[in-house]
Amino acid sequence: MEVSVKPYTEQFVLALRYYRQQLWIKKKVVLLILLLLLLSCGLFAFCAEGTWHDAEGMTALVMSQIDDICDVGRVETVAELLSVTFSGGSLEIAGYTVNSTRLITSLNDILTGIAFCFVVLTFFASFMSIREQDMTAEQLVLKLGLFAATVVLVFKSQDICLGIANIGTGLALKTTQLTTSDAAAAREAQALINDVKQLAYEQCKSEEDGLLAGLMEFVSALGVYLQLMIPWLSMYAVVIITNVVCWSRAFEILILSTFSPIAFADATGINNFGQGSGSRFIKNVLALSISGAIIVFIMSLSSSISLSVLRNALSGDFAGFTSGLKDLLVIAFAQVGLVLKAQSMAKTLCGVG
């Protein structure tokens, strides 16, 4: 007697279809729960109530953007970039300590030796024409004194250059202290920036409630972020250019101080004292030093004017701030132009340009 297996096969297929359908229904339920959780997370992440301090997500990026746009002064940061000190084999430039200064020391020692040999040769060569010049005893003593002074300048040239450069650094730091000590202006500036942030926060915050409110706020914040993108990039360019000028000035001071023995090796004659290459070199180093104080003064002045412009731009809505951004950009780029001309202005003051 034969037993058919067909009924058992049909039962197995039906059971498999049943459990498959049940698994698909459970999968749909799990996906729905995950979607609800995701929307709930978006609601809590982007729909904060209160002030700009509660901003998160894209809205927090807008707050950071406003900080960069409004902080056009940065006087303290610039002042740090102007300091160059070198003592005990340790170089400190722009607040960073560089211990590997063997190249600087070795090169300066070599140039000092070359400069000293040049000074000795030019001094003794000048005695060959003593009879033609008909020197008196007083002139001979003065020439010996100038020779001794030149030797001292050659061996101490690096310290002299850095000392002159730090005169300008001291002036810059003093200017910075005068700027930052104005507590009332600092409080006003911070209050104005906070007002701008609050206006931007209200612009980004969704006025509706529900699961899609987080998405609505994200879209609004993204629109404000893109609206402020060009002013933010412009201010970023201003910061980069200013920092490049300050770093270039610090490097120039370091290079001139390293090669300074050659400039001081000019044994100046009696009749043209103060007109040789050594005196011109000192004037150039002094101009480079003063340029640091001029840069800080320009930054402080720009910060004060920008504060007044920001005060006038806040007319109670965010549109007033965005319309006043063009004036802030004009001041920022005028600041860059003056920073680039700071060294030429300093040379004019010192009579070398």
- Encode pLDDT of 147-165 as tens digits: 888 888 888 888 888 888 8
In whole angstroms, give the CA distance from residue 150 to residue 128: 20
> Is 309's pLDDT higher than 70?
yes
Query: Residue 16 above 50 pLDDT?
Result: no
* DSSP secondary structure code for residue 128 in this structure: G
Q: Each residue of 281-292: pLDDT tens digit?
A: 888 888 888 888
Longest dimension (CA), the chain: 150
Least confident piece of the model among 2-6, 247-251, 283-287: 2-6
DSSP code at position 49? -
Asked if residue 40 is part of any domain, the answer here is no
* pLDDT at residue number 219: 79
Judged by DSSP in three states, 119 sits in: helix
Range of the domain at 126: 47-350
Quote the pLDDT of residue 292. 85
62 located within any domain: yes
Is position 258 within any domain? yes
Nearest to 63 by CA among 179, 174, 193: 193
Distance CA 153, CA 170 (A): 23
Q: Let me know: does 66 contact 321? Beta carbons within 8 Å.
A: no
Distance separating alpha carbons of residues 87 and 156, to the nearest angstrom: 13
What is the model's pLDDT at position 93?
A: 79
Question: Total structural domains in the chain?
Answer: 1
Whether 244 is in a domain gets the answer yes
pTM of model > 0.75: no
Q: In what order do the strands lie in the sheet with 90-93?
A: 84-87, 90-93, 96-98
Whether residue 214 is contained in a domain is answered as: yes
Task: Work out the angle at residue 157's Cα, subtended by the Cα atoms of residues 155 and 161, and round it to the nearest 5 degrees.
Answer: 160
| Separation CA 212–CA 35 (nearest Å) | 12
User: Does residue 32 lie in a domain region?
Assistant: no
Residue 213 located in a structural domain: yes
CA distance linking residue 11 with residue 220, whole number of Å: 58
Whether 150 is in a domain gets the answer yes
Query: Has residue 44 got a pLDDT over 50?
Result: no
Q: How far apart are CA 246 and CA 226, in angstroms?
A: 31
CB atoms within 10 A of CB 326: 12
Q: What is the pLDDT of residue 178?
A: 65
Q: In degrees, to the nearest 5, what angle opens at C-alpha 199 toward C-alphas 193 and 202? A: 140
Residue 110's pLDDT band (cuts 50, 70, 90): very high
Residues in the chain, overall count: 353
